[in-house]
Structure formats: C-alpha cells, structure tokens
Homo-oligomer: A and B are copies of this chain.
Amino acid sequence: MKRIVILRLGHRPVRDKRITTHVGLTARAFGAEGMLLASDDRKLAENILDVAKRWGGNFYVKNDVNWKTEIRKWKEGGGKVCHLSMYGVNLPDVAADIGQCEDLMIVVGAEKVPFEIYEMADWNVAVGNQPHSEVAAVAVTLDRIASIDPLKNEFNGGELKIIPAERGKKVIDNRQEGPGSS
C-alpha cells in the first residue's frame, strides 16, 4: 500500500485558514495518511482532526513542523518528494512515474515557496501550467496517481457515514446506536 503525506508550507493562520483546511480535508478524502503543517496553527489542526474523527479513518495532522527537517527525514527514509507548483512539468507527463513511488511526500505552498524546495524535490509538478488552486492541485494529483479509485475509499470507525442518494441527504449516525448513548 502506497504511503502519501502532504507537507503544507507557508500557511498564514488567519489568511489561509480555509484554504489549508480544504487542502487537509481533500488530502484525507483522496487517500493521504496525514498532513504536516509547517506553521503553528493548533486550532486548524484540531478542526481537521475533529472532522477526521467524525468521518472515520486515521488521518493525522502534525502542527508546526520544520519543513527542511521533514523533507530530509523523508528522503533519508527512501521516500520521494513531489512539489506542486504552476511552473513545473505537467502532471500528465509524470503521473505514471509518480504513481510508482511507494512513499510519497507532496509539498504544497501558499503564495511563494523557498527556492530550495525546487532543488530538494524529486519532481516539480504543475497541474496544468495555469493559475488555479492548491486544493485542486492536491485533489487531481492524488486522483491521477492512484492505482485504486480514491473516491471509493472506505473510512472505518467514523461516527457519521453517508449513504449516496439521488435526491436529498441520507446520513447514518453511529452515535445514536447501542446502549449507553445519550
């Protein structure tokens, strides 16, 4: 089973709160095991973990990491690093290569990133060479490099589970079941 972790750089607690939350939830939904946050924003980390707890699975967020240390450790452990940036080689040209990597760190910045990242990355990858969104970039990269459809991922142990429906909302709430629930 492939291991994928997201490293989020340059997050500014107020300004980037919602975008980084979307990056984290998207990473989880598309099969990453966790997110390393290279900024101190404990509240944001807790919010994502709260969603993960309610909806299942083992997604983690590590707050306030040192990005250089994390990239070095990952590479020393044999992992590879893919940096998403609108300037890189286009995803369709490298998705098959990246998909073969067993331990993948995906680095995604807000605004500008240190130039060193371009040097440390095994791949600098653009999801199309047009401006759009780091959330979209993470989603489409994880979708295209997957060997099993990430939209069919099951998340075990969650309190809530959706039953797909053509109209309306069907949600199973496991908290209401069993003795002792209140």
Q: Given A138-B136, A167-B124, A168-B118, are A130 and B89 neighbors across the interface (CB < 8 Å)?
A: no
Whether the pair B153, A128 counts as a contact (CB closer than 8 A) is: yes
Q: Give every chain B residue within 8 A of A152 (Cβ-Cβ).
A: 90, 92, 128
Q: List, in ascending order, chain B residues with CB within 8 A of A25's CB.
A: 130-133
Write the residues of chain A forming the contact surface with B, with a CB cutoff of 8 angstroms: 18-19, 22-23, 25-26, 28-30, 51, 55, 86-93, 115, 118-119, 124, 126-133, 135-136, 138-140, 143-144, 149-153, 155, 161-171
Chain B hits for A23, CB < 8 A: 133
Minimum Cβ distance to chain B for residue A62 (Å): 19
A115 to chain B, nearest CB (A): 8
Q: How far is the CA of A138 from the CA of B136 in the complex (A)?
A: 8
Within 8 Å CB of A132, what residues of B?
A: 22, 25-26, 28-30, 139
Residues of B within 8 A of A127 (CB): 29, 151
Q: Specify which chain B residues have a CB less than 8 angstroms from the CB of A126 in the assembled complex.
A: 162, 164
Beyond A124-B165, A166-B89, is A22–B119 a contact (Cβ under 8 Å)? Answer: no
Interface pair A55/B167, CB less than 8 Å apart: no
Can you give 10 A-B contacts (C-beta < 8 A)?
A: A22-B132, A23-B133, A25-B130, A29-B127, A87-B171, A90-B152, A92-B149, A92-B151, A119-B167, A135-B136
